[in-house]
Structure 1
Amino acid sequence: MSRPIILGIVGDSAAGKTTLTKGIAQVLGPENVTIICTDDYHRYDRKQRAQLGITALHPDCNYLDIMEQHLSLLRMGHPILKPVYSHSTGSFEPPVYVKPSKFVIIEGLLGYSTRIARDCYDVKVYLAPPEAIRAKWKVKRDTQKRGYSEEQVLAEMQKREPDSEQYIRPQRQWSDIVVSFYTPSDDVDQINGNLNVRLVLRPTIPHPDLTDIIGVTNGSSTSAIRLGLDRDMGKPVDVLEVDGHATLEQVNKIEQIICSDMPYLRNICDRESNPELGKISGTTGETLQSYPLALTQLLITYHMLKAIQIHQ
């Protein structure tokens, strides 16, 4: 019997983990995907954290050993009895029985914090938006969905910063792909569906052959889609950048390069049969098309399908 393919999506609070997770699940088919948030493994509820003066980002505030155990069980295809943490109430709810599907997506804060946990993933993604954008996303989410005021959100971010620096950001080094959505200019207000993306591709997993991108873009540094070499955390990496103003024609060429290496993806590349690819909600609830997001979803999906070929 084949085992589930496990994708990790790690990043700081409001880095876009849930948005990316839901999009990839939609591409793969919700019936084929089990989604687990590692926030469910918090040791203390919101009131207890306030009393103890500890943030949810600190390893001591989480049952990392239980998370490791559950990841190992899921990787072997076994069910788990998962704890449940409610962000709306800040308290715990009764545990739920979870049986892994063909694909499992684990998203959260500390998913790569231990060696045992890291070894359970087939593909590891880290989200690293600029802090100004993440702050704007967090204020919007926590004021609209979690009942906080803007002042409370900003104060909490300041309180969490030491733990972010010490425990969250270092996990970037363990990822196979680093995803950074950023604004075309320094104006963080220009984030409504027009974000660029910078994808750091580490040689830890076999990426599709993207060298044809140089031909498609004529090697221009001003092209809307660019491929280059760089160093990330001291190690050599490939970097794929896609601007928010890239045209559908440009994006289609890159999608076909990726899809040609994975026959199953051809159905996903067909926008008529998969209209949700790259769709996001705007600030007023309208549906927007983001080609950088579409390519990011497609590339990560490629790696999940590739993992089936490699490991099964």
Structure 2
Amino acid sequence: MPDKMMRMQRADAGRAAARRPVMLAIAGDSAAGKTTLTKGLVEALGPERSTSVCVDDYHRYDRQERKGLPFTALHPDCNYVGIMEQHLQLLAIGQPVLKPVYDHDTGRLTRPEIVEPRDFVIVEGLLPLHTKLMRACFDVTVYLNPPEEIRRDWKIERDTRKRGYTADQVLAELERREGESESFIRPQRASADIAVRFAPIAGRDDPPGTPLSAELLLRPTIRHPELNGVLAKGDRRAIHLKLFRDEDGRPVDALHVHGYAPREESQVVEKAIWSQLGVDAAGPPDTLGRIDGGDRSEPLAITQLLLLYHLLEAGR
């Protein structure tokens, strides 16, 4: 189905009695933080209202088979892109799919599973924004863009702890993937409504253990929340907004959320954003901002709150 027809069909479904789900895409390279961001959103929305889908399950080959191939899991030829497109279209109009399953811990393809779309469908993975038709399925699109040295450290830590690799094997695989990352993964950033970068602030000498700050590029492709009131209530140590030139030279709003800010100041900002969501609950869910090991990141929590705003607004 052409992407324009898909957008029209979704609009018709939104006007129908049985409303279509709200679709959010979170794209990014391996170990960029997609699953952590997704998990907090799903827990905040609740399992009865949200469905999460990892499009990396659409790999054509298991880990052992890929060893003999001239490309890696990042290459579209290593994935069932056509089936991925078909399933995203079905989910976008509220239909269930029989999704393949790839076990990332063992590297094996396992039994497929039925996925039922709920009010909100959060899709994360390497290639959810690879084609026009995929992009047409989403209400909101996000690209995670950490500095490469940080992503490398995250990947080494995850793959050695959870997936049985040595550090040298992870570094060798990163080098092997670099060309495909540049060709197929990073170009998705240009199609995202929001580009998120978790990183230290340049020029600051924060002590070890200081949470990473976040920079969110808010492109005018979707309507973002009114932040003037939020900024007025928060200290500039916690959050500020400025005009920024994107990679293509176009101006965008850049929201900076500072990891070094005292937690109580960040929480003032979080409560101000939460008040715009129109939710009856007393305050933001405690599940927001959680990272591996039980630590908490206020910049992550604020990022997740802004995405919740977009999900709930699209749902209205």
The normalised TM-score by structure 1 is 0.89
C-alpha deviation, 1:229, in angstroms: 0.5
Is 1:231 aligned to residue 245 of structure 2? yes
Counterpart in 1 of 2:315?
Answer: 308
Is 1:204 aligned to residue 217 of structure 2? no
- Compared CA separation, residues 188 and 16, structure 1 to 2 (3 A): farther
Whether contact under 8 Å (2:274, 2:283) holds in the other structure is: no
C-alpha deviation, 1:128, in angstroms: 0.2
> 1:255 and 1:125 mapped to 2: Cα distance?
20
User: Which of 271, 275, 279 is matched with 2:286 structurally?
Assistant: 275
Task: Name the aligned partner's letter for residue 52 of structure 2.
Answer: I
- Compared CA separation, residues 240 and 2, structure 1 to 2 (3 A): same
Whether contact under 8 Å (1:196, 1:241) holds in the other structure is: yes
Is 1:21 aligned to residue 38 of structure 2? yes
CA offsets, 1:188-242, max 9 Å, x none? 9977461101111011111111134554467x6xx33211001212222101111
Task: Name the aligned partner's letter for residue 231 of structure 1.
Answer: R
Counterpart in 2 of 1:171?
Answer: 188
SS in 2 for 1:199: strand
- Compared CA separation, residues 202 and 217, structure 1 to 2 (3 A): same
> 1:214 and 1:90 mapped to 2: Cα distance?
45
Instruction: List, as ranges, runs of 4+ consecutive aligned residues in structure 1 with deviation greater than 6 Å.
Output: 186-191
> 1:44 and 1:193 mapped to 2: Cα distance?
40
User: Which of 91, 94, 103 is matched with 1:86 structurally?
Assistant: 103
Counterpart in 1 of 2:163?
Answer: 146
Whether contact under 8 Å (1:142, 1:153) holds in the other structure is: yes
Q: Percent identity between the aligned chains? A: 52
Whether contact under 8 Å (1:193, 1:288) holds in the other structure is: no
Whether contact under 8 Å (1:11, 1:169) holds in the other structure is: yes
Task: Name the aligned partner's letter for residue 245 of structure 1.
Answer: Y
> 1:191 and 1:57 mapped to 2: Cα distance?
33
Q: CA RMSD in A?
A: 2.1
Counterpart in 1 of 2:8?
Answer: none
> 2:115 and 2:288 mapped to 1: Cα distance?
27
Whether contact under 8 Å (2:271, 2:283) holds in the other structure is: no
SS in 2 for 1:279: coil
Whether contact under 8 Å (1:58, 1:167) holds in the other structure is: yes
What is the 5 A alignment of 1:1-312?
1-184=18-201, 192=209, 194-213=211-230, 215-216=232-233, 223-234=237-248, 235-264=250-279, 267=281, 270-271=283-284, 274-281=285-292, 285=293, 287-309=294-316
C-alpha deviation, 1:280, in angstroms: 2.0
